[in-house]
């Protein structure tokens, strides 16, 4: 194991998460870790400017920047920060992207459409990034869009710890995938907690319009937990919750990796039959999200801080895929019974 001391720099996308990661790394290393002194700002014409105020020559640099809304601005911040560090002779640049924007454009769905996720991967690589650390990519094949190493963390182990902490009888729980494409993600979480699995089969009449939804599996008198990677406008999520409730579910909850929560999402969730929606802080939550009575946010700083330290030390990142490995990291949030 190397005695590595990585440096962290943050853009404006989710600075509270970056600060939380730095605090957690301070705990790991027994010394204060602070964000690299820099400014990331805009000129009057909205051009982005980055200036790093401290020496980074030969350093192992980690840029913490989700490419969430405004996606284009946050992506450009990431690219320009990477270029600034590369031109300042940083030894290695790792992009820590808790939420990878454009991930839903991972294939051509029609003629004459782009594969934007691949384009973004090319931009990040050309900017000088040598490794990417992210969480719950919308499609696993996006890892192959990069010609550099990609470490894709999973929220499922953290969700499993949270479910075990907040639900007394796991035998009453059924994990639900809101569509056929998310079955693997839902099955993974179901296996971690020993729960049953159900699927909501939805058919679209047109983009954004759902023609019909059907539940595959027994949910009667069950505590249903919907699992997905992204909650954008929450329309499909709330309709799935209504369907589960009308099919006989006792309670409906949801665990979502990335709370985009755009447009009327918060209002829809607040008015829905869901008892709770649990999201991570991979995207900085708005005031409305934080104040919503049935939305709860769980931290990702512990897992990202450990992953950064493992990458810097040259040790295993895949060890963080296990519930047992994460339990000590999250012992403050979820104390042992």
Question: What residues act catalytically?
Answer: 202
Q: Which residues pair with 226 in a beta bridge?
A: 176, 254
Residue 47 annotated in ligand binding: yes
> Among all chains, which residue has been given the structure tokens 């369907």?
243
What string of DSSP letters covers 253-295?
A: EEEEEEE---TTHHHHHHHSS-SEEEEESSSPPPHHHHH-TTE
Please enumerate in sequence order all residues whose Cβ is within 8 A of that of 202, keeping only pairs 6 or more positions apart, or say none: 178, 179, 210, 212, 213, 214, 236, 240
Residue 235 annotated in ligand binding: yes
Residue 45 annotated in ligand binding: yes
Residue 105 annotated in ligand binding: yes
Please enumerate in sequence order all residues whose Cβ is within 8 A of that of 283, keeping only pairs 6 or more positions apart, or say none: 14, 66, 68, 69, 98, 99, 258, 259, 260, 261
Residue 46 annotated in ligand binding: yes
Residue 290 annotated in ligand binding: no
CB atoms within 10 A of CB 211: 9
Residue 13 annotated in ligand binding: no
Residue 236 annotated in ligand binding: yes
**C-beta separation of 240 from 213 below 8 A:** yes
**Pairing mode, if any, of strands 48-52 and 38-42?**
antiparallel
Tokens of 287: 């005031």
Question: Coil, strand, or helix at residue 196?
Answer: strand
Residue 104 annotated in ligand binding: yes
Sheet of 92-97, strand order: 7-10, 60-64, 92-97, 131-135, 150-153
Radius of gyration for the chain, computed over Cα atoms and rounded to the nearest angstrom: 20
Whole-number Å distance between alpha carbons of 250 and 275: 10
Question: Coil, strand, or helix at residue 314?
Answer: coil
Residue 60 annotated in ligand binding: no
Residues contributing to the annotated binding site for D-ribose 5-phosphate: 204, 228, 232-236
Residues contributing to the annotated binding site: 45-47, 104-105, 138, 179, 204, 228, 232-236
Residues contributing to the annotated binding site for ATP: 45-47, 104-105
Residues contributing to the annotated binding site for Mg(2+): 138, 179
């Amino acid at each position: 194991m190397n005695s590595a001391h990585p440096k962290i720099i943050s853009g404006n996308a989710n600075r509270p998460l970056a600060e939380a990661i730095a605090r957690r790394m301070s705990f790991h290393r027994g010394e204060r870790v602070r964000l690299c002194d820099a400014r990331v700002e805009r000129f009057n014409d909205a051009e982005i400017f980055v200036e790093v105020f401290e020496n980074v020559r030969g350093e192992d640099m980690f840029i913490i920047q989700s490419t969430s809304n405004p996606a284009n601005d946050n992506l450009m911040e990431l690219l320009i920060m990477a270029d600034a560090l590369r031109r300042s002779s940083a030894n290695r640049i790792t992009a820590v992207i808790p939420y990878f924007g454009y991930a839903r454009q991972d294939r051509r769905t029609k003629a004459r459409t782009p594969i934007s996720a691949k384009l973004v991967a090319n931009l990040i690589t050309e900017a000088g990034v040598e490794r990417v650390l992210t969480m719950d990519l919308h499609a696993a094949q996006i890892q192959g869009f990069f010609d550099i190493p990609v470490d894709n963390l999973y929220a499922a182990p953290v969700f499993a710890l949270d479910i075990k902490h907040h639900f007394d009888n796991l035998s009453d729980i059924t994990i639900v995938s809101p569509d056929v494409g998310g079955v693997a993600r839902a099955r993974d979480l179901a296996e971690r907690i020993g729960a049953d699995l159900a699927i909501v089969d939805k058919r679209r009449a047109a983009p954004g319009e759902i023609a019909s939804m059907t539940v595959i599996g027994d949910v009667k008198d069950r505590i249903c937990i919907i699992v997905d990677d992204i909650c954008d406008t929450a329309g499909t999520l709330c309709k799935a919750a209504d369907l589960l409730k009308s099919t006989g579910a006792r309670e409906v909850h949801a665990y979502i990796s990335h709370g985009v929560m755009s447009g009327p999402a918060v209002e829809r969730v607040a008015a829905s039959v869901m008892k709770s929606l649990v999201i991570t802080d991979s995207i900085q939550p708005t005031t409305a999200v934080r104040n919503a009575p049935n939305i709860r946010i769980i931290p990702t700083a512990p897992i990202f801080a450990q992953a950064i330290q493992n990458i810097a030390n040259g040790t295993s990142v895949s060890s963080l895929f296990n519930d047992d490995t994460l339990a000590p990291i999250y012992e403050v949030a979820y104390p042992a019974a």
